[in-house]
Amino acid sequence: MPVTKAYAAQSATSPLAPWTLERRKPKPHDVEMEILYCGVCHSDLHFARNEWGMTIFPVVPGHEIVGRVTAVGDHVKKFKVGELAGVGCLVDSCRECDNCKEGLEQYCTQGAVMSYNSMERDGSGLTYGGYSKSIVTHEDFVLHVSEKLPLAAVAPLLCAGITTYSPLRHWKVGKGMKVGILGLGGLGHMGVKFAVSMGAEVTMLSHSPSKEADAKRLGAHKFVLTSDEMQAKNVAGYFDFILDTVSAPHDYNFYLGMLRTNGVMVCVGVPPAPTAVHAMSLIFYRHTLAGSLIGGIPETQEMLDYCAAHQITSDIELIRMEQINEAYERMLKGDVRYRFVIDMASL
Ligand code: NAP
Ligand code: ZN
Ligand code: ZN
């Protein structure tokens, strides 16, 4: 079994540190990649610190993976050695349930296998993510990546990109719609770029006054400082659609009040603890509160192709592997503009 260097958390309170793990030898349908860059998602931090109470240690986070194909199994047709490729949050699913058949593998009724902290379908062991030098993945879950975009800035598309693109598409965001993107972090900044490119009027809803100029630079038409009562009042009953990307506890009722009649708020951010939603927040003006999990494989490829066609990538700060613990602390303070990406050459 090929051994690969990695960074792992050994417990909820220990910092990430060097570790080694074994990747399987490529099976007939497997693609082996050298990982060149891996994005740092807030979910990685939630998992490393067991904030959702479901982590199995040691955990190797990382699900925004891009690199070059180094080997392929005998039956692989989609990829050749030397090509660029990407792996996101999903690495396997049953392929047979209604959701899988529809290309919604993230909602596989047998349980999708995630790129880390998941049991392989054959029970052979746990999955380990992209904070490592290589990964072996079934070709059905490997994505084509454009040679024309800066590769490090493509990595975050594999999670932050698809997680924001998918709900914007599902709820048909486009011209004539007033859209609020709540939280300007890794997901939020991609949400702004996509919603603007789809033709919507986009307002950044942020609790950080220092991010106003960046929000406008990213394409947002308006900026609302959510902690400013007057500014928040001005957008009461205003939005057709709000995408909530906030990772920390916050009051959904407050933001539901910003929706117009029939407005929809979609949660993608996952605060560690539940929040109470008052029925009145939904009943008045027939509001909908919904959720959305990443996106399926066909839609992830569609999103990557859309980004190549529209020259959309993530705004990143490249870090070395050993800076990961410091990066987590900065992410908690909202001090990331707007996605950390690890240069795997540093591992
Ligand atoms: P991030 O880069 O840390 O961004 C989160 C943003 O939330 C911050 O930049 C900040 O924006 C806002 N925020 C943070 N603390 C806040 C507070 N106390 N009050 C109000 N706003 C606050 O995180 P991310 O990587 O974008 O991930 C965001 C969330 O989405 C995480 O919970 C992550 O686990 C989840 N996620 C879900 C999916 C899915 O499939 N549904 C996929 C990926 C990630 P402002 O400074 O602008 O307020
Ligand atoms: Zn993620
Ligand atoms: Zn399935």
Question: What pLDDT does 288 receive?
Answer: 98
Among all bound ligands, the one having the nearest atom to the CA of 116 is: 2
Beta bridge partners of 340: 317
Asked whether residue 70 carries a pLDDT value surpassing 90, the answer given is yes
Mean pLDDT of the chain: 97
- In tens, the pLDDT along 91-100 reads 999 999 999 9
For residue 89, what pLDDT band results from cuts at 50, 70 and 90?
very high
Question: What pLDDT does 43 receive?
Answer: 96
Question: What pLDDT does 216 receive?
Answer: 98
Question: What pLDDT does 2 receive?
Answer: 85
Asked whether residue 1 carries a pLDDT value surpassing 90, the answer given is no
Check whether domain 3-159+315-346 has CATH 3.90.180.10, yes or no = yes
- In tens, the pLDDT along 98-156 reads 999 999 999 999 999 999 999 999 999 999 999 999 999 999 999 999 999 999 999 99
- Please tell me the number of Cα atoms within 13 Å of 118 on its side-chain side: 19
- In tens, the pLDDT along 164-221 reads 999 999 999 999 999 999 999 999 999 999 999 999 999 999 999 999 999 999 999 9
Question: What pLDDT does 149 receive?
Answer: 97
CATH class of the structural domain 163-291: alpha beta
CA of 91 to the centre of ligand 3 (A): 12
Asked whether residue 71 carries a pLDDT value surpassing 80, the answer given is yes
**Helix/strand/coil for 95:** coil
**Average pLDDT of the residues in 279-300:** 98
Q: Do residues 165 and 194 touch, judged by C-beta distance below 8 A?
A: yes
CA of 188 to the centre of ligand 2 (A): 12
Beta bridge partners of 9: 59
Closest CA to 129 of 211, 67, 194: 67
User: What is the C-alpha to C-alpha distance for residues 347 and 345, in angstroms, rounded to an integer?
Assistant: 6
**Helix/strand/coil for 328:** helix
If one compares 272 and 295, the residue with the highest pLDDT of the two is 295
How do the domains of the chain map onto residue ranges? 3-159+315-346, 163-291
Q: Which residues line ligand 1 (CB under 6 A)?
A: 41-43, 46, 159-160, 163, 183-188, 206-208, 211, 245-248, 250, 268-270, 292-294, 331, 334, 336
Q: What is the 3-class SS of 203-257, one letter each residue?
A: EEEECCHHHHHHHHHCCCCEEEECCCHHHHHHCCCCEEEEEECCCCCCCHHHHHC
Token pair 């992209």 in the structure block, residue: 130
Q: Do residues 179 and 193 touch, judged by C-beta distance below 8 A?
A: no
Beta bridge partners of 343: 37, 320
**Average pLDDT of the residues in 28-55:** 97
User: What is the C-alpha to C-alpha distance for residues 158 and 143, in angstroms, rounded to an integer?
Assistant: 9
State the pTM of this model: 0.98
